[in-house]
Amino acid sequence: MSQNLTDKQKLFIEYFSQTGNATQSCIKAGYSQKTAEQQGYELKNKLATQIDTATKKLLGSAVPIAVDKLRKLIENDKTTPSVQLGAINSLLDRTGYQTTTKIEDVTGKKTDEELRQELDHLLGTMKIVKLNDNDDGSGSLN
């Protein structure tokens, strides 16, 4: 840390990184209850870099536990397939892998008239204004 911190400031950083509550962190760190709200606001801004570092360190230490829990969900035969799939996707996402999403372009398989009819039907179903043709061939909402 680039500056010398008091014991109270160090405690504030520790408590705030765990709770996110500046006022309560001030009180727990030993600051006056009367001034805790204002003091917490000032400390939160003044010590933002140190709070960020402490929070990242705290979260980093929880990663192995989270990975273990995800692994256990995946391996447990009693876990539903949808929960297992969610755990697998979560684990892959956090390790930098992404599941693929197939997007099919059906617009190229339909004529403009078929697409316009489908759009009119959908807009009508949703009770939204329909798309009308202008004289120049472009559509406008009315």
Q: Please report the pLDDT score of residue 138 as a whole number.
A: 53
Same domain as 111, residue 81 = no
Q: Please report the pLDDT score of residue 129 as a whole number.
A: 47
Q: Residue 1 falls within a domain, yes or no? A: no
Same domain as 17, residue 77 = yes
Q: Residue 113 falls within a domain, yes or no? A: yes
Same domain as 34, residue 78 = yes
User: Nearest Cα to 132, choosing from 116, 112, 118, 121?
Assistant: 116
Quote the pTM value. Answer: 0.52
> Would you state the structure tokens that stand for residue 8, as one six-digit string?
């109270």
Same domain as 73, residue 115 = no
Question: What is the mean pLDDT for each group of 10 consecutive residues in the chain (142 residues)?
Answer: 82 95 96 95 96 91 85 88 84 72 70 81 65 53 52
Q: Residue 80 falls within a domain, yes or no? A: yes
Domain count, the chain: 2
Q: Residue 15 falls within a domain, yes or no? A: yes
Q: Residue 112 falls within a domain, yes or no? A: yes
Residue-range definition of the domain harbouring residue 57: 7-94
Q: Please report the pLDDT score of residue 27 as a whole number.
A: 96
